[in-house]
Every structure is written in structure tokens, then in C-alpha cells.
Amino acid sequence: MPVFDSRNRQGLISPDEGTWQRRRRRPRTKKSYQEDTTIRPSKLAVRLPISIKNLSAAMKIKSSQLISVLFKQGITLTLNDYLEDETTVQLLGHEFTCEIVIDTTEQDRIQITDKLLEQEIKDTDDEKLAIRPPVVTFMGHVDHGKTSLIDAIRKSNRVASEAGDITQHIGAFQCVTSHGPITVLDTPGHEAFSAMRSRGANVTDIVVLVVAGDEGIKDQTVEALKQAKEAKVTLIVAINKSDKENFDTDPIYRGLSDHELIPEQWGGNTIMVNCSAKTGEGLPELLELIALQSEILELKANADFRARGTVLESQVHKGLGNVATLLIQNGTLNVGDAVVFDHYYAKIKTLINDVGQRVQHAGPSTPIEITGMSGLPEAGHEFIVVRTEKEAKQISEMRILEFKAGISDHRRTKQKDQFLENDQVVVNRKSLTLILRADVQGSLEALKQSLLKIETQKIELNIISSSVGEVTESDIQLAKTSNATIIGFHTRIESHAEELMKNMNVAIMMPKVIYEAVDTVKELMVNSLDKVTQEKDKGKLEVKAVFKASRIGRIAGCVVQNASIHRNHKARVIRDGETIWSGNISSLKREKEDVKEVKKGMECGVVLEKFTDIEVGDIIQSFEVTYHEQTL
């Protein structure tokens, strides 16, 4: 019987001691695995966008499992990120044997209608449709007279409307012609036009291209006609300033023909009319021609339908709160209607027409000012009437949620872009911080669009705040803390904010036209870029001897081999082909005399600032440094 002592227990006994005994195996107990008893859905309907967190909860699996599947697909997301893409969500379902269908009922509800405005009108029974007035935009080169023409038309028609002075700012008006009314958009300029178009809003039926008859075709004339062509709108050319002596249509006809706009006068089909905003000559003709063109276009809408259209501009009004000018493009808008904008809603409190009168209804092609909105909708966004205020509110809230999901998505792509940029070693990109203020939403948008179009890889525009209204004290505080420049466009600085502006030394620019704003910002951008230094080699010297002087250190006795050395030059020391030092020259002497310049072939003594290591055989290359402004 083997002896069992403590050594056995510690395994110290060797087998040859004969006491080795096979350890009895413990009977294996069955490992108790925790059974996953979760019952997962095999079918699921989800709404998009959906966060990883919510999707995992619906699928009854851990978020980390979803994240890891996505990671393997090359998509890096976290718990609170949203998935927007149908295929990705279905792929995740497939991985966990769950069939996912996308529930679009809510999306349909948010969208209100899947028909575009044009389609909606097209699908309406013919007998319900009636002719509507054309909507006209004036475009053309700066100073060619767009604003003057709009003003002249407005004034000449004011008599017709007998409404007296119009003091309020409304972004459009209607004028009367013998062929019926015309709606004129009071936002001259292509920027506003393209800002609207970039949001998919096609509010214009006819573009009046204004060309000054004394100046001819300019850059923005060409730009405007290209935009009009792209938007496929009818174009009428108004050759303005016919009262001027050097008014000449021939160069304009020729110039426009180069762009495939052949004047009727030359047998083509582009209408061109001479006019003067100053004398009023040609204006009735212009309006008649617009009205006639619109007859050809057969513009129609259904006035017996719920209203739908586009926001022309919006602003905060001191007494009235949020105010917007809308262009009704189909249907009729009534006081009390519930309206959904992009992210806001309204129960229409008041409707004010273009001549400042309160009205109860407004039909197709009418510009109308409304109050009663939950927020300030942006120019170019669509509005649409729904059944109840409650529904309008719910839809706008859902849209905000969706928008936020979009933002997180946007942020992600932005981060990704930054990664890319870093890979390409575009680190430390400079940025110019701006705060934008404008009188109305329309001009704010136009300004923003134009500024964001400034193209450069060297500096980034960072607009930290943009809103409608005066430049306030808090804007100045914000500008100070964020080192931003304020751009106030068609607006004022609050009277008591001026002092703060001076005390805080905050830069505020108040451009009058967009192009001026763009130029100002470009200049600011250029100024924020570091200047580029350029070194230009001058004299080349060889060190022939080195002398020690107790007070000044080492003096290099040199011969100028090339060009000349100047006391104000900088210097490089080159030893065995390598630059070993670079800095200032502290003294330049010829035979103990301080000199300004030493020319080729001459000997001189050079002391280099804080460099004592000079040796015989070194080369001293003097050079000049110039600083250049960078271009964008």
C-alpha cells in the first residue's frame, strides 16, 4: 500500500520511487452552457432611417453584433449612428436570418405626396385647370439695370393697383397688362435663381435677360443665359438704357447670336426689346411680350385644390414674428390653412398681398406674405397644405428627426473626407470663420451660396452662424470668441452694438452687392494665408582665413567669387556641399571699415550672427528673402 504524504499532494515524488499513482480523474461534470433562449423575429418591418441601437433592439440581438457585421463590410458605425440605406439594413437582417421589409408608410406621410408639382398639375383633369399668370425673374450683369427695371415696372403699375405706397418688403409683386397679370420676382440676380434651383425649386417661367445697351454682353450676361437655358425657361432679352447716347443694339445681337440666341429682328426666335428703366420707354412693350409669351406657354394650375408652392424669402419681423413670402404654384391658400414647410409648420394667421392688403385667399402664381409659422423656412423650400394643424406639426417634427439622422450621416462622411485629406497630407488646412447676417432669407441664401462657391484647396470657409436680422451685440461677442469676421449684407449694425464692435476690435464687413461680398471674403482668405517666402541667391564668398577677435568672435576673411554681398543679406554657410548654418550677417568690413556692399573679386571680413564655427574653405552664400502673398 503506497504511503501517501504531503509530497504526493505537491507532485514531488518521482515515479521511480514506486509510489506513483495514477490520479483518479474527477468525473466530468456536464458543463452548463447558458442556453440562448431569446426568440428572434424572423420577419420585421422597420422605418428608415433607423439607428443601430433601435435596429438591434427590434432584431433582439446585441448592437455589437450588428456593428461587427458592418465593420466586416467596411462600414464603421457606432450605436447611435443611423442606417439610411435599404440594402444595408436588409443585409443585416439576412445575416441574422431575419427578413426585413422597409416600412414606408411614415415616409410617404412625411413626403405628403410623391408627385412633383408639375406632375400634380399634369395629372389634373383638364376642366379643373385654368390659365395662371407667368412668373418672371430678371437676370443679367451687375449694374445693367435689373433693380431699376423691376422698380420702374412696380411703380408704373402701382397707379394701376391704386394701393398707394408699398412700404413693406415683399419678394415679388403682380403687375397688370392688357393680356392679364404677370408675377415679377423681386430678387434680381442669378445667385438667388441658382440657390432656388439648387433646392429643386423651379419658380420661374420666363427669364428677362437684362443687357445694358451701352455696355453689351458681359460675363454675368453669359452666365445668366446659360442658367436660363439649363433651367429650360423661356428667355426674353431686355436691352436697357435706351435713353443713353451710346446705346447700340448691333453688338448685343451679335454677341447673343454667338450663344445661339438669334434675335427676331434677324429672323431668329429670341425676343429682344429695347427699353429704359429711366424714361420708361419700352416697358409696356416688355410686359406685353412677357404676357404673350406666357400665353404660348399655356401655364395652368388648379385653383380648387390645396395650395402648394415655394418659399421666396423669410424674415423675423419685430411685431409679426416669423414672416415668409410664398409663391403659390398650385391650388389656393386660405387663412386658417395648415401648412408644412421643410422643417416647420404653420396655421396661417394672416395673408397679406403684394400691395399690403389683408386677404382671405390667394390663388396660383400669387406672391403672398404669411404669418403664423413655427420657424423660419428657407428660401427655395417647398410648402404644402395638409388637412389639420396637428398633422402639419407631426409631419414637420418627423422631418426634423429625419434631418438630424441625415446630419449625423453627413458628419460621418465629413470625418471620412478628413481622413482622406490627411492621407494626402493636406494637414493644417487654414480656415476663415464667418458670421453671416442679411436682411431677408433670400439674400442670406444667395450670399451663402456664392461664398461657398469660392474654390480653393488652401483655406476652408467656416460659416458658424447665418441668420436674418441686424448685427447684434451677441453676434459681436460670438465673433470675438470664435475669431470670426461678420458679414452684414443689406442689413445694419444694431445702434448700441457699434461701441462694442470698436471695443472688441471685431471686423465687420457690410458689402452692398454679392460680388462685393465675394471679393471681400476672397481678400480675407488671401490675408489669412501665410506669406510664401522666396530666397534669391546673391553673392558667393570663399573663406580664405579665420581671425579671432576678442569682442566680436570669429571673423571670416573672404573673397567674393560671384555677384556681390550686401550687409542686409542673409547668409548660408556651406561646408562640403552641405548647408550647415543659415542666419543674419552681423558685420561686413573692408579693411576695418564697415561697408554696405562688397563686389565680385574683392576681399572682405564677414561676421555671422551667433556662428563661431567658421572654417577656412567654407562657402558663404548670401541671399535675399522676399515674401509673396499666396493666391487662393
Residue in the structure block whose three cell numbers are 458658424: 464
Give how far the C-alpha of residue 626 lies from the chain's centroid of Cα atoms, to the nearest Å. Answer: 36
CA distance 632 to 505: 26
- Residue 213: CB minimum distance to ligand GDP, A: 8
Contact 160, 173 (CB under 8 A): no
Q: Which is nearer to ligand GDP, 148 or 396 (CB)?
A: 148
Q: Which is nearer to ligand GDP, 149 or 524 (CB)?
A: 149
Helices then strands, counting H and E runs in the chain, come out as 16, 35
CA distance 326 to 310: 6
Contact 521, 499 (CB under 8 A): no
Contact 106, 155 (CB under 8 A): no
Q: Which is nearer to ligand GDP, 213 or 331 (CB)?
A: 213
Q: What does each C-alpha distance from 127 to 301, 332, 375 come to in angstroms?
A: 11, 17, 37
- For 485, residues 6+ apart whose C-beta sits below 8 A from its C-beta are 432, 433, 434, 435, 479, 506, 507, 508, 509, 524
Task: Retrieve residue 619's grid coordinates.
Answer: 562657402
The sign of the dihedral angle between the CA atoms of 156, 162, 168, 171 is negative
Q: Which is nearer to ligand GDP, 144 or 399 (CB)?
A: 144
- Residue 275: CB minimum distance to ligand GDP, A: 7
Q: Which is nearer to ligand GDP, 212 or 607 (CB)?
A: 212
CA distance 453 to 441: 18
Write out the E strands in 178-279.
Answer: 180-185, 206-212, 234-240, 271-274
Residue in the structure block whose three cell numbers are 556641399: 577
Classify residue 372 as left (phi > 0), alpha (psi -120 to 50) or beta: left
Task: Retrieve residue 470's grid coordinates.
Answer: 441686424
Interacting residues toward ligand GDP by CB under 6 A: 140, 142-148, 188, 240-241, 243-244, 276-278
Q: Which is nearer to ligand GDP, 19 or 220 (CB)?
A: 220
Q: Which is nearer to ligand GDP, 277 or 339 (CB)?
A: 277
- Residue 142: CB minimum distance to ligand GDP, A: 5
Q: Can you state the percent helix, strand and coil of the chain, rounding each to 5?
A: 30, 30, 40
Q: Which is nearer to ligand GDP, 244 or 458 (CB)?
A: 244
- Residue 140: CB minimum distance to ligand GDP, A: 6
Contact 270, 235 (CB under 8 A): yes
Q: Which is nearer to ligand GDP, 142 or 580 (CB)?
A: 142
- Would you mind telling me the total number of residues written for the chain in this entry? 632
- Residue 279: CB minimum distance to ligand GDP, A: 7
Helix (H) or strand (E) holding 420: helix 389-423
- Residue 274: CB minimum distance to ligand GDP, A: 10
CA atoms lying within 13 Å on the CB side of residue 283: 22
Q: Which is nearer to ligand GDP, 144 or 448 (CB)?
A: 144
- Residue 149: CB minimum distance to ligand GDP, A: 7
Q: State the first-to-last Cα distance of the chain, in angstroms, to the nearest integer.
A: 97
- Residue 512: CB minimum distance to ligand GDP, A: 10
Q: Per-residue DSSP letters for 23-44?
A: PPPPPPPPP----------SEE
Q: Which is nearer to ligand GDP, 362 or 447 (CB)?
A: 447
Q: List 598's β-bridge partners, or say none.
A: 565
- Residue 514: CB minimum distance to ligand GDP, A: 10
- Residue 123: CB minimum distance to ligand GDP, A: 39
Q: Which is nearer to ligand GDP, 179 or 244 (CB)?
A: 244
- Residue 197: CB minimum distance to ligand GDP, A: 20
- Residue 165: CB minimum distance to ligand GDP, A: 20
Q: Which is nearer to ligand GDP, 224 or 392 (CB)?
A: 224
Q: Where are the alpha helices (DSSP H) in 97-198?
A: 105-111, 117-122, 146-161, 190-198
Contact 504, 480 (CB under 8 A): yes
- Residue 269: CB minimum distance to ligand GDP, A: 25
